[in-house]
Structure formats: structure tokens, C-alpha cells
Amino acid sequence: MTEPNAPTVPDKSVPGKSRPGFVFFGGVAAVCLLLDVASKAWAEVELTRRSPLDPIVIIEQHLSFALAYNRGGAWGLLQNASESVRRPFFLVVSVAAIAFIVSLYGKLQPEQRALRWGLPLVLGGALGNLADRVTRGSVVDFIDYRAGWVQSMNELIAALVSGWHVTDHWPTFNVADISICVGVGLMAVDMAISGRRNAEGRREGGPSSSAPPHPVR
């Protein structure tokens, strides 16, 4: 007569499967913040010497560097609001977003590689723009982009939203904005991968996969 096998304990110390560490998180965020601060400092020094009508052209009719200050948020949100409303609003939103990002990173699983990069990228960008709001009261933007697809997109929005301004010009942005957009994109990728992984798990296991097998009669 043989004894039943003892239950096996899953090995959680598999190489390469450790939870993401905060050293990596802080390092990526710090690099993004440094690049943003350095590029804005360069823009303020170099572009203030030039006329607003004389930007640094990178790609003719598409990409150039021209200095601008955004007192509002994305797409000019609260651009014309009073300082007593605008500054507290953006400070509270920024601090809440940073706290959420740090908290979420601490809960990451080893397989969430896209989110491992996406969260520190968003954090670095958020810190860069927050530093501008604290020190300057506005965000330094200098990357100016124009394209036909931007005009087509605005024409589509104008067909749905009355009074929408149609232009081929994308709102001027900075390195922090790029970091945030890439990070958010990676977060979306992680959501898609997680959703697919969960769907595959349900198909393989089924709703009653954890139930004990029926005895053979």
C-alpha cells in the first residue's frame, strides 16, 4: 500500500522571475527627468536668442524647435484659469498620479515587462513637468510638429465637435511629454497582453478547472 504523494510547493525562486526592483524604477525615471530638464535648459538658452518667427528647422515643414510656455495642461487645459485655481489643481493631480504610479509598480508581477518600463517613463515625465510648474509656473515646450495626418485628424474631430479648430499643427511639446506618451502606450500594451493571457487561461482551465474530478463508477 503506497502513501499519497505530498503536495508540491511551487518554486518562486526561478531565475529571471523576480519582481521588478525599485532601483530599476528609480533609474529609468531619473534618466527621463534628467533628459527633460537638460533639454528644456538648452531650449531656453538657445531659443530665446532667436526670433519666434525664426525657429530651428529640423525637417522642413514638419519638425522644428520653437520656445513656448504652457500655463495649462495637455491641449491647453485650464490655460486661462486663474493662478489660484490652476496651480493647486495641477499640483494635486501630479502628486496623486505619482503616488499611484509608485504604488502600482510595487504590485507588478515578473511577466509584466511592458509595465515595468512604462511606469517609470510616466513618472519621469510627470516629475519633469511638475518641476516646471513649481519653479516657473508654466511648462517649457519647444518641439513643434506639423503633418498632414494631424490636419486630417482635426478635420474628423471638427465634423463631430462644433467650433473645433482645424490645423496641421500638433500642440508644442517637450521630452517629458514624449516620455509620458511612450509610457502610457506601454501601459496599454500591458493591458492588452494581460487581457489576452487571462482569456487564454479561462479557455484552458474552464470555469470548473479547479473542481476535483468525479469518481469513476
Q: How far is CA 168 from CA 68, 97, 120, 124, 147, in A?
A: 18, 31, 31, 29, 5
| Catalytic residue status for 11 | no
Instruction: State the catalytic residue, choosing from 36, 132, 141, 190.
Output: 141
C-alpha cell at 57: 528647422
What single-letter amino acid sits at 32?
A: C
Treating both helix axes as pointing N-terminal to C-terminal, what angle do 175-205 and 22-47 enclose, rounded to 10 degrees?
150
| Catalytic residue status for 144 | no
The CA R_g of the chain, rounded to the nearest whole Å, is 24
Q: How far apart are CA 148 and CA 146, in angstroms?
A: 7
Which 3 state secondary structure label does DSSP give 37? helix
Q: How far apart are CA 19 and CA 108, in angstroms?
A: 7
Instruction: State the catalytic residue, choosing from 36, 132, 144, 177.
Output: 177
CB 97 within 8 A of CB 126: yes
Which residues are annotated as catalytic? 141, 177
